[in-house]
Structure 1
């Protein structure tokens, strides 16, 4: 079967770690077709040569598979000379069995591109691609921090300290001060003096929880863990500052996303660098949800639905949305009522995915329209007035703005 030609000058790139295979299909003015194949290395000079070769051919379209992270540097080299390549999903371009070679893959990519049978993947602008590195490394650091905090808790428990039983957060201000005092070997009454009066636990309960058999080895490990925890926290703070500085030009989008239940400033920034602000790149909320891997799968044959399992999408966006969904399910909003309606029938995990899906569709509409979030079931202004009205009336009465009630 002959494929209809939509693009007359196309280039397909098969990208690997150490080699890039290129295949160009060029239709001349007289209707003849010319096939040109080249191989390039993966170093900077090779990528520059690839970009110059592609630029000289004046292609209508350049396509490459999203092979790991290897596509990023050739993409940047082509972008530098004004060529915006298409990065396509490898699942959409499977070659014919028995013809699996680098040259064959590049030729097959060019053939599909020439016929207009490929769909481009979302690639954010260069600025957001750079900030993605910061946001994703921050997520790794948060994971390391949680691991170290859990390890500190285990070492304290191994030494007989049950402070985690009587305080809600072992790494709160009071609990951390008491742990540091224990590490320093201070007597129990001095450790108790580090506790804030706002703790619900009594002094007797704190005293009982601090009775321990800490050895020199325990104190050494706890000292190193505490130092590492504080170092990671300082590093995360630096990552946060760098990320927010890079998004200084997107203050309106950041402010809009923070009106969504469960989303804070850092969460909004990390989501923004993943999906960008231009929703035209996705086209619809359905495609955005499919790209993130947060919507139900679609697998039907012979009129029977085989599976609704969600596909693999962007794991960083999926993780952020699930965190937002957990927080939103505890707020006074339409998301809480939806979660409560689903959790009894579908279970906790499926309900969280459903809330994450709804949140992402809401984000799409907010960014597309440039509007803040307005809850369909809750009037937040009325809630604020109801919560603060007695205090406001008392203050206005005190300073003489309204008369004292008789």
Structure 2
């Protein structure tokens, strides 16, 4: 079964190829039909597959359009697996929906396809929430960037003095500007804590041509930010409730350097807590996309890149790695510094991500907590 990739018809229908024995022994014929994507039409498809007594169903991933087909078939307990469309399309000439469906049936008949990882329902629900939180946080950052650019047109250079517009002091000044205050001295005096050391710089930065037009636009941006903040609070509460079943795993991940509560939640939402779905830590690292690429020809290793992997998991691992290398007296920071000298910062950071995901697999598989090897681990190993 195949949903055509790269086409608007993905939303409307799917091409289904059923491979049947031919009239002569050892031959096969393929029957291709088209079914719609609505729930009633998918039930019609399920009835057709049951009538044909199919023994195995293969479906390729295409955006999110595979989900209604897959989950309804799972509810009906059909033998369906999901495969990566990129892997089965390496051979050219089979790019249309009909050809792809026929090709899938042939590959499945020869057992040449590996099933994709589909987490259980509680993990899928948690994943929906964590990804929604990431999207809202990204939108919030984009709004702050638009606000910063808009302030440039009014001559207000607050972002050149304050490290971020997200701070409490910056918000007090922006609210005062919207309320009608224009005196730079009064605005700068609204700063608190460490920002008060920068009052002379703030006075210069807050002197501009801020008009009522600018006030109205800034108010809209701030209202948008407040709305996104409320959504983040709601999502955080929903994620906390959904994480209650995985509290032990979350605490185990929290013992690792660089992994905070939100990072641990995101990692669990992407890979789950059952490590039996991954053969070992190396398979999980490869699935996550933090393994070095392999490009060898005639015995010579050529430059290659890491695969794409799970973008949400990669982002979480990158955040964890950047935070971990700041712990100077840790094994991960030492590993980064050693590799940085020979391989550069980017490759050293990917190596730290690889180490982190490997440790995560062992933590979740064994239920143990992280054991810090220490910054002198390599020195001790050389002395053995």
Once the two structures are superposed, what CA deviation does each residue of 1:83-108 show, in whole Å capped at 9, x if it has no partner?
A: 35211122332386556654443333
Aligned-CA RMSD value: 2.7
Q: Give the Cα separation in 2 of the matches to 1:160 and 1:45.
A: 59
Q: Is the 8 A contact 1:159 1:214 kept in 2?
A: yes
Task: Using the TM superposition, name which of 298-307 and 166-175 deviates more.
Answer: 166-175
Match in the other structure for 2:3: 15
Structure-2 change in CA distance of 1:261 and 1:58 (3 Å): farther
How far apart are 1:224 and its partner, in Å? 1.4
Aligned to 2:331: 334
What's the counterpart of residue 364 of structure 1?
A: 361
Residue number among 92, 109, 112 corresponding to 1:114 in the alignment: 109
**1:220-259 Cα shifts (integer Å, max 9, x gaps):** 2211111111111111221222222222211111111122
| Distance 1:58-1:275 versus aligned 2 partners, 3 A rule | farther
Tell me if the contact between 1:258 and 1:265 (Cα under 8 Å) persists in the aligned partners.
yes
Query: Contact 1:24–1:36 at 8 Å: present in 2 too?
Result: yes
Q: 1:321 to 1:96 in 2, by over 3 A?
A: closer
- Answer whether contact 1:15 1:65 (CA < 8 A) is retained: yes
More moved, 80-89 vs 155-164: 155-164
Report the alpha carbon displacement of residue 289 of structure 1 after superposing the two structures with TM. 1.8
Contact 1:122 1:282 in 2 (8 A): no
Q: Which residue of 1 aligns with 2:151?
A: 156
Contact 2:13/2:36, CA 8 A, preserved across alignment: yes
Shift of 1:41: 1.6
Kept after mapping to 2: 8 A contact 1:167/1:201? no
* CA separation of 1:161 and 1:58: change in aligned 2, threshold 3 A: same
Secondary structure at the aligned position of 1:39 is classed as strand
CA distance in 1, matches of 2:169, 2:47: 62
Structure 2 equivalent of residue 268 of structure 1: 264
For 1:92 and 1:165, locate their aligned partners in 2 and report how far apart those are by CA, in whole Å: 48
The structure-2 alpha-carbon separation of the partners of 1:222 and 1:98, relative to structure 1 and needing over 3 Å to count, comes to: closer
CA contact (8 A) 1:95 1:105 kept: no
CA distance in 2, matches of 1:161, 1:103: 59
SS at match of 1:261: coil
Unaligned 5+ residue runs, structure 2? 5-9, 377-384
Evaluate the alpha carbon distance shift between residue 312 and residue 67 of structure 1 in structure 2; reply closer, same or farther with a 3 A threshold: same
Cα distance between partner residues in 1 of 2:336 and 2:358: 16
In structure 2, how many angstroms separate the alpha carbons of the residues matched to 1:61 and 1:200?
69
Structure 1: segments with no counterpart, 5+ residues: 1-12, 380-406
- SS in structure 1 at match of 2:326: coil
User: Do 2:184 and 2:204's aligned partners in 1 also have CA atoms closer than 8 Å?
Assistant: no
> Comparing 123-132 with 18-27, which one deviates more in the overlay?
18-27
User: Secondary structure, in 3 states, of the residue corresponding to 2:314?
Assistant: helix
SS of the aligned residue for 2:197 comes to coil
CA separation of 1:159/1:98 partners in 2, compared to 1, >3 Å: closer, same or farther? closer
Partner of 2:315: 319
Report the Cα offset of residue 285 of structure 1: 1.8
What is the rounded CA distance, in whole Å, between the counterparts of 2:348 and 2:314 in structure 1? Answer: 14
Q: Aligned partners of 2:201 and 2:340: how far apart in 1?
A: 37
Structure of larger gyration radius: 1
Match of 1:349 among 346, 352, 367: 346
How far apart, in 2, do the equivalents of 1:365 and 1:325 lie? Answer: 17
Q: Which runs of 4+ in 1 moved over 6 A?
A: 31-34
